[in-house]
Each structure stands twice: as structure tokens, then as C-alpha cells.
Amino acid sequence: MARFLTSTTAITFEVAGAVARVTMNRPQTHNALTMTMLDELHQAFLEADARTDVNVVLLAGAGKSFCAGYDLGDAYGGKDADPGGETVQYRTAAGTIDDDSWSMEGMQRKLAVIAQIHKPVVAKLHGNCLAGGTDIAFACDIVVAAENCKIGFPATRANGTPPANMWMYHCGPQWAKRLLFTGDTILGRDAARIGLVMDAYPASEIDEEAEALAARIALVDADLLSAHKRVINLGLELAGAQTLQRLATELDARAHLSRGPRRTRFREDMAQTGLREALKNRDGDFGDSVVKLNWTGN
């Protein structure tokens, strides 16, 4: 019986060859994140960390995408009932700036487990890895991607700043700013060139390559892998990574208060015509939105 994993309605979990395969499993929504999925991912990582037959975790998404971001239709809070039948009012993200920050901090605590567990986590990206999907991917220890995978945070154009922000630690300050200032996406093959992901492979080969990498890592004893991971992660902490995550959440809450024209237009479009039209108007000026590297190397 599983010690931590109590449900798998939004993910799948399997173990073979010392590799725990955790797969986000809402393909009809491109694995858009809900609180249920975040809870189950959190449980799955704890389960993998506790099991003696697991040395490494391979994280992936079912269907056409790794993860397209947060499900904007998901309920993050509101009224609930206590065991006595009385209605209780809980905080929601729609209140004060502190309510907003509190709500996002709760979600980020679910993702923080990726860095906190002792065992390495490899993320395999394909299709789209956008917005909240990048929060998950860049929290992992190693990220590999299909060459045609689209990676980015388009919401920075009108909605806020990433509440989990490891961008600078992967690709450096200038590329982090380039991508966040514009909300443009970058293809997996170019993301590998700038260090945003470790490596990229043809879409037809990404499954095989990710599996081979996970299997190779799994050959090493779990105790040694833990030592390697924790040393590097302590280095990230000394470079401010954990403090930055807390500050990023608070700054995202502040950014949500923006009354600039693009932010205002998005809010109005959401209220009057819905998400599809809001996204169309938010992103229309940016064309195909894909970064084109001026790459002259071999």
C-alpha cells in the first residue's frame, strides 16, 4: 500500500527498473494544472522519495503537451462546509494582495517538494510547456525537451510575473529578461543552446532519450544521488534561489494589481467575452511569438 499517494485521478504513477514514472494525465486540457493535480504530484514525489525501489523520478505529460499552464477554470478556494453542516468562508485569491500571495504560496509549496526530496527528478518536455508548466519543469533537477517543444510564459504580457522563478538560474539574467519581458516562447532546440534545458532531441526520440537518461541515473545508489543533488541545491540556496521564490510570489501578487492598458484590456476581455478572446487580444500583436536565435555555430 502506498504511504503517501492516496489518489491518481489527474496523474499516473508506476515504478520499474528503479525509475518512478510520474505522468500528468489530463491530456484533454494539455495537462492544465488544477489543485487536484498539484496535490497528487506532491504525493507522488513524496511516495517516490520514500520507496527503496526508486532511485530517480521521470516526470512527463500525457497526450500532446507536457503542461500548458494553470487551469483558469479551476476553483482555488471559497465556501466549504464543516462536519457540523455549517458553511465556512475560506480565503480566496480574489481578495487583498495578501490573499493573492497566500493563495499562490500554497500552490508553490506543492511544487517545492521537487527540490526538497532526496532523489533526482528528470523532466521530459514535449508539445507545450507554458506558464505554470515551466514552474514545474524548472524546479526539476534535469530538463530535456523535444526540439519542437514550445517553452515560455506568455502570461507575462498582461497577467503577472512567474510566481516560481528559476529562469535566471538556468539561462542567465539576460535571456531570462528577454523571455519574460516579451512573453515569447522558445523552441526546445534553442532552449538547449541557451541553457534553459539541458538538451533537446527530435520529437520522435525524446521518449527513448529521456528513458535512457533516467535508467542511467538509476544505476547509481540512491544515497549517492541524494548527496549530489543536495550539494548542488545548497549551492542554489546560497545563490538566493529559495529566497527568490518567496519574493517572486509576492511580486506576482503586486503585478496582478497593475492598471496598465494591456492588463486592463485582458481583464475586460475576460469579463465580457471570455478567455479565448482575451488570449487572442493579449497575444495578437506578438505574431508567432517564437524566438529566432541568430545562431551561426555548427
pLDDT in tens, the chain (298 residues): 689 999 999 999 999 999 999 999 999 999 999 999 999 999 999 999 999 999 999 999 999 999 999 997 664 444 444 555 667 777 777 789 999 999 899 888 999 999 999 999 999 999 999 999 999 999 999 999 999 999 999 999 999 999 999 999 999 999 999 999 999 999 999 999 999 999 999 999 999 999 999 999 999 999 999 999 999 999 999 999 999 999 999 999 999 999 999 999 999 999 999 988 999 999 999 999 999 998 765 5
Give the three cell numbers for residue 57: 523520478
Cα angle: 162, vertex 167, 173; to 5 degrees: 115
Calpha distance 296→298 (Å, rounded)? 7
pTM of whole model > 0.75? yes
Give the three cell numbers for residue 41: 504530484
Q: Which domains does the chain have, with CATH numbers?
A: 11-73+105-256 (3.90.226.10)
- Looking at residue 83, its pLDDT comes to 55
Give the three cell numbers for residue 102: 497566500
Can you say how many angstroms the Cα of residue 228 is from the centroid of all Cα atoms in its chain? Answer: 23
Calpha distance 100→214 (Å, rounded)? 37
Give the three cell numbers for residue 118: 532526496
pLDDT one-digit tens code per residue, 20-55: 999 999 999 999 999 999 999 999 999 999 999 999
How many CB atoms lie under 10 A from the CB of residue 40?
25
pLDDT one-digit tens code per residue, 54-64: 999 999 999 99
Calpha distance 179→286 (Å, rounded)? 13
Query: Which residues, in sequence order, are CB contacts of 290 under 8 Å at separation 6+?
Result: 150, 184, 185, 186, 187
Chain position carrying cell 530535456? 144
